[in-house]
């Protein structure tokens, strides 16, 4: 039932956008009564949150795998791999991503990315500690914070509004370069 409702929510989001998302419509689309929706979700917000959480979790699954694989690679290759996986995952959730990032009141629901960012930041801290051990903690923290912004923003741009005349691969390459440059001040560390 819950899955049915969340699937219906995604559909409605796809077809009508965030503004067209009403609980009655979701229930109708799911083929159940509104009453049932309110048995499984406290309110509309809860429904949206759950959808966001699930999309987030799905993205995180891929991300975790990518991060695991990345640690065994040279720095730049690892970063590149993570970016590519992230873009692919966001593409898969284009509907929810679009709705949540571009349409939904962020203040109300946050977006998919905070959890992704948290996970990413955690691993990035280790990455920086390994490759640039002499960096001061505060300095490292700031670089990581900025890098997270760069990463998510770049992946979103690549996913939702890719610039014309250039391949996605090249964009990911450039972003990877930028991130390595930004994260690791020591040129020697960059493999």
Q: How far out from the chain centre does Cα 107 lie?
A: 17
Name the binder of 169 from DNA, a second copy, none, CB < 5-8 A by kind.
Answer: none
* Alpha carbon separation from 58 to 54, 116, 170 (Å, rounded): 6, 10, 26
Q: Does 92 bind DNA (CB under 7 A)?
A: no
User: What's the CA gap between 119 and 48, in Å, rounded?
Assistant: 21
Closest CB to DNA among residues 1, 126: 1
User: What's the CA gap between 85 and 50, in Å, rounded?
Assistant: 23
Pick the stretch among 30-38, 55-63, 67-75, 103-111 that binds a second copy (CB under 8 A): 103-111
Q: Does 154 bind a second copy (CB under 8 A)?
A: yes
User: Which residues in the 160-189 window bind a second copy by CB under 8 A?
Assistant: 163, 165-166, 170-171, 174-175, 177-178, 181-182
Name the binder of 178 from a second copy, DNA, none, CB < 5-8 A by kind.
Answer: a second copy
Pick the stretch among 39-47, 86-94, 143-151, 181-189 that binds DNA (CB under 7 A): 39-47
Do the beta carbons of residue 58 and residue 139 sit within 8 Å? no
Q: Write the DSSP assignment of 10-47 as a string of letters.
A: HHHHHHHTGGG--HHHHHHHHTS-HHHHHHH-SSHHHH
| Residues lying near DNA in the complex (CB under 7 A) | 1, 20-25, 32-40, 43-45
């Amino acid at each position: 039932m819950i899955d049915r409702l969340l699937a219906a929510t995604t559909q409605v989001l796809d077809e009508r956008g965030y503004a067209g998302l009403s609980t009655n419509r979701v229930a109708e689309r799911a083929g159940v009564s509104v009453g049932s929706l309110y048995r499984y979700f406290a309110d509309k917000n809860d429904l949206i949150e759950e959808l966001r959480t699930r999309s987030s979790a799905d993205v995180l699954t891929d991300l975790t795998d990518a991060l695991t694989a990345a640690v065994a690679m040279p720095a730049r290759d690892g970063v590149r791999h993570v970016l590519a996986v992230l873009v692919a995952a966001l593409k898969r959730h284009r509907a929810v991503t679009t709705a949540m990032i571009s349409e939904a009141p962020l203040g109300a629901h946050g977006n998919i990315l905070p959890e992704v960012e948290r996970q990413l930041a955690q691993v990035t801290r280790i990455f920086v500690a390994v490759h640039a051990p002499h960096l001061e903690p505060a300095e490292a923290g700031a670089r990581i914070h900025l890098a997270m912004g760069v990463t998510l923003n770049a992946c979103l741009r690549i996913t939702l509004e890719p610039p014309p005349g250039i391949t996605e691969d090249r964009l990911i390459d450039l972003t990877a370069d930028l991130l390595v440059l930004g994260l690791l001040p020591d040129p020697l560390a960059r493999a």
